[in-house]
Structure 1
């Protein structure tokens, strides 16, 4: 099946959208499972290997790890590295800056790497430190006693206002400090011992003093509990009242309170952790969980299908009472995107929550319980159920779409890829691996720089340059090289995509080798045919010239002149067709000094302009543009048309600077172009009434401009250009410091 250029563009656009959609779904999965980097360092601190989610990152190999550490943390990172080499295991929070990304905070855990009982380096993992979720903050703030959570060495990760008030400090200052910094120096060893006991699963609490920011010592009881699910510690800091010392609270009571919260939250988190088959299955799980946790009179989970909200699951439902209409509680909740409580009652007995993921409404969740009313903690827990149900619904929908688009990705005949800007191959489909001879060798392909897949590696550099400038490159044709060093022709389209601050290249390659061979064969035979016809015409012109020099009647001489003119026009047409072929093949563009080129063209047509009483001039601009030998044909055609066909008194050529290029204007004050013909003049074969030409001149000019990455348009009449005609050519800007093609240059017209 043949696909025209328009069809190919549509396929590319559709496939690009689908790849972007697939990337969004992959991002959704990645947001649920945190991005983790694993690394190996040698004894000198260089990265021997780095992986992200089990995918190698070759561009980070051989880098001194301190170059990736934020300036303020480098001294501490070096100390941690030395301690690891001495046999310690370490965990710390460090600021890291990976190539192409902003500086972020990472939790780093590392241990010595041994070989034959000898320490040969360091190995570990780095996990991006996620901002605490609103749910976690709600849990801490729900407790009115001073409370905080810390990492395993006591650094405060979250704290409530009660603890900040006790220490007479702001929450912002409190977070990030170590709780030991606020404990009286004499009590710090005991605090460290309680932390150790908690990490070994023992009940841990102590009496002591904390020192507020004002310097006042406050007597407190500190209870420490390990949070197994989050890899940290939960600490309550209860102020002791005056009078006789109170009996130390049973540590088990503190532990059991947290264990209850932990157990309930664990059940809630399981709702989002289990991979769902369908959205309906998620709704059924959520309804069962609501029933188990809250013993409601009724509950329901509704789904959005298009513009319709429908109840997908529920327990104890009164379908007649729960009729869905514009003003009902579920519909108003969905529209507002906010939690709605039962209207008109002092106690909360009915709650409806929106199910939302990535700002997209997915459904609603409602629950009714007449007695007892929902407490603050239960309302918090309901929000957690809604949050987990939303994530699970999003994953269920994503899984369905991923399966759909994965089929397209894996079955596509085009090679589809994703790479970094510097050439690290991130992802490819089966067709791509087959095209380059890497079937079953996906890991090997990831280690190959993308430029090595091109027969001329510098062409990828050019492709990346164009992508940086334009964002999208379509129908880029070149030759590629396979693993077996065989070369083939391909047509590539690529575009830039930025996600999470990282810009990558996505694209597709189609093998066009069979078509290219047919084109080359056709080109050879066409060239041979034109060459033979051109030579025979030249011979005919020579014979006619000899015949014309003999004694002929005036009528015979006139006939011979017409014959010579007809044959010359035929040869001129052959040269034009050759130039059109050259336009298709033009690849290497140079910097061209426009002043030198235009002055030469003006000099060529100056004598004819004077014979027609036309003032022909060029206004110097200093412009440097990108082009090649065909640029002289482009502007010669425009200037010649203005001189010969405009019936003007003035023809002026000038240029104006643009941010990325130059606008070149060829304008006259002649008769202009009728409005019904302006859209036709660049069509192949179009010519004005009575014109003896081939109708290819302006068509050739347009193709040349487009081949340079530019454009051409015509303005004539109201409101564009009131008197006469103005051709506007836009060309890409060249560089002043590169080799300039100028007066004594390669631009001497097309030679055959």
Structure 2
């Protein structure tokens, strides 16, 4: 084994140490024994600037204990962080990890806070905030799939079992009821197949790449998928999307398929219009039918998972919103004199 005889001098070592700390993605601050922030790393500074803190050192010189304690009573995490810092400054080496949300109007974020004590010329606390957003979103997806499988899919299977049991009891005794039970069992099977397809679509969203996508092709393919149902229900569809190309992907077709199927199954409509306008780098797409519309007391719930006023899976519009959000777009339910009206905004290429 060989050893290097020349060593880095103290000044260079200090600069190297500072560069190492600045290279860490976690947000790090050093707090003195009175609670004042005496140093932060570059990630701390960048995060502060991105979230509106204009101080060049993003809170250096401020009392972090006071800042953490001065929070809304509904956010106890700040006070917990304050207590952990005090414990470390009073002699504890390390403290428990505190997991907390830190959402902005644009995005949801989660962090873990760790506090560690160090000794130099006095006692200091090193406060580290670790971004765990990817992990939390993965956990949300897993819980969403688990709850859907355990609740919605199980309910559909139980319905099928019930109708088949009734059918078995009525064999050779009541032909009319037998036919009714068979139809209900078939409908439950169809509902289950649609539910599985929606779950599969939700899983695909995570892997979907955002690429330039021709809006007209997406809408044409969506209409063709339900061509028979559209003809059977005598629905007229008008489209005018100005050859717009948006940043989306193959799952965008699921958006329009869900909207069209909702109009066919629930709206009792005779006409659907899909139009678009462009403004700078945004394409605004309006989807509107002339059907029954959505009752006022249900409007705020239409994108919620599991919500359905018609006895469906409650996943259709929830899936639509997830896909649009994945493309960094937005979808809104707009006021309309008749029928339902959605406004979708996506980035142009």
TM-score (norm. length: structure 1): 0.27
Q: Which residue of 1 aligns with 2:274?
A: 653
Q: What is the distance in 1 between the residues matched to 2:150 and 2:297?
A: 38
Q: How many residues align?
A: 246
Q: Which residue of 1 aligns with 2:328?
A: 709
Q: What is the distance in 2 between the residues matched to 1:509 and 1:597?
A: 40
Structure 1 position 687, deviation (Å): 2.0
Distance 1:627 1:405, change over 3 A: farther
Structure 1 position 677, deviation (Å): 2.7
Q: What is the distance in 1 between the residues matched to 2:342 and 2:318?
A: 13
Write the deviation string for residues 555-580 of structure 1: whole angstroms up to 9, x where unpaired. Answer: 43432332232233234323323433
Distance 1:427 1:705, change over 3 A: same
Write the deviation string for residues 193-213 of structure 1: whole angstroms up to 9, x where unpaired. Answer: xxxxxxxxxxxxxxxxxxxxx
Distance 1:564 1:405, change over 3 A: farther
Matched, 1:686 2:307: yes
1:61-80 pair list within 5 angstroms: none
8 Å Cα contact 1:602/1:618 also seen in 2: no
**Runs of 4+ that moved beyond 4 A:** 407-410, 426-429, 471-477, 511-530, 550-554
1:38-53 pair list within 5 angstroms: none
Question: Once structures 1 and 2 are overlaid, which stretch shifts more, 620-629 or 590-599?
Answer: 620-629
Structure 1 position 475, deviation (Å): 4.8
Distance 1:514 1:608, change over 3 A: closer
Q: Which residue of 2 aligns with 1:271?
A: none
Write the deviation string for residues 626-677 of structure 1: whole angstroms up to 9, x where unpaired. Answer: 2233211111111222233333332111111122221111112333333333
Q: Which residue of 2 aligns with 1:621?
A: 242
**Partner SS for 2:314:** coil
Q: What is the distance in 2 between the residues matched to 1:568 and 1:732?
A: 35
Q: What is the distance in 1 between the residues matched to 2:323 and 2:197?
A: 15
Write the deviation string for residues 672-715 of structure 1: whole angstroms up to 9, x where unpaired. Answer: 33333322222222223xx2311221122112211211111112
Aligned-residue Cα RMSD (Å) equals: 4.9
Q: Which residue of 2 aligns with 1:558?
A: 180
Q: What is the distance in 2 between the residues matched to 1:648 and 1:528?
A: 32
Structure 1 gap segments, 5+ residues each: 1-53, 59-402, 420-425, 430-470, 478-489, 492-507, 735-752
Q: What is the distance in 2 between the residues matched to 1:563 and 1:601?
A: 28
Residue among 583, 593, 597 paired with 2:218: 597
TM-score (norm. length: structure 2): 0.54
Distance 1:672 1:559, change over 3 A: closer
Q: Which residue of 2 aligns with 1:29?
A: none
**Partner SS for 2:320:** helix
Distance 1:681 1:659, change over 3 A: same
Q: Which residue of 2 aligns with 1:580?
A: 202
Matched, 1:733 2:348: yes
Q: What is the distance in 1 between the residues matched to 2:296 and 2:212?
A: 36
Larger Rg computed on CA atoms: 1
Q: Which residue of 1 aligns with 2:117?
A: none
Residue among 637, 642, 652 paired with 2:258: 637
**Partner SS for 2:308:** coil
Structure 1 position 617, deviation (Å): 2.1
Distance 1:512 1:571, change over 3 A: same
**Partner SS for 1:722:** coil
Q: Which residue of 2 aligns with 1:307?
A: none
Residue among 302, 314, 317 paired with 1:695: 314
Q: Which residue of 2 aligns with 1:418?
A: 46
Q: Which structure's relative contact order is higher, taking Cα pairs within 8 Å and 6+ residues apart?
A: 2
8 Å Cα contact 2:246/2:348 also seen in 1: yes
8 Å Cα contact 1:643/1:651 also seen in 2: no
Structure 1 position 512, deviation (Å): 6.3
Decide which structure has greater strand share.
Answer: 1
**Partner SS for 1:575:** helix
Q: What is the distance in 1 between the residues matched to 2:176 and 2:262?
A: 32
**Partner SS for 1:629:** coil
8 Å Cα contact 2:281/2:347 also seen in 1: yes
**Partner SS for 2:46:** strand
Q: What is the distance in 1 between the residues matched to 2:109 and 2:150?
A: 29
Q: What is the distance in 1 between the residues matched to 2:283 and 2:246?
A: 7
Structure 2 gap segments, 5+ residues each: 1-13, 20-33, 48-55, 60-103, 113-128
**Partner SS for 1:682:** coil
Structure 1 position 602, deviation (Å): 1.7
8 Å Cα contact 2:247/2:347 also seen in 1: yes
Write the deviation string for residues 510-559 of structure 1: whole angstroms up to 9, x where unpaired. Answer: 246876897798799889989x98xx99xx9xx99xx9xx9994543432
8 Å Cα contact 1:652/1:666 also seen in 2: yes
Q: Which residue of 2 aligns with 1:723?
A: 338
Distance 1:674 1:586, change over 3 A: same
Q: What is the distance in 1 between the residues matched to 2:220 and 2:138?
A: 41
Decide which structure has greater helix share.
Answer: 2
Write the deviation string for residues 187-229 of structure 1: whole angstroms up to 9, x where unpaired. Answer: xxxxxxxxxxxxxxxxxxxxxxxxxxxxxxxxxxxxxxxxxxx
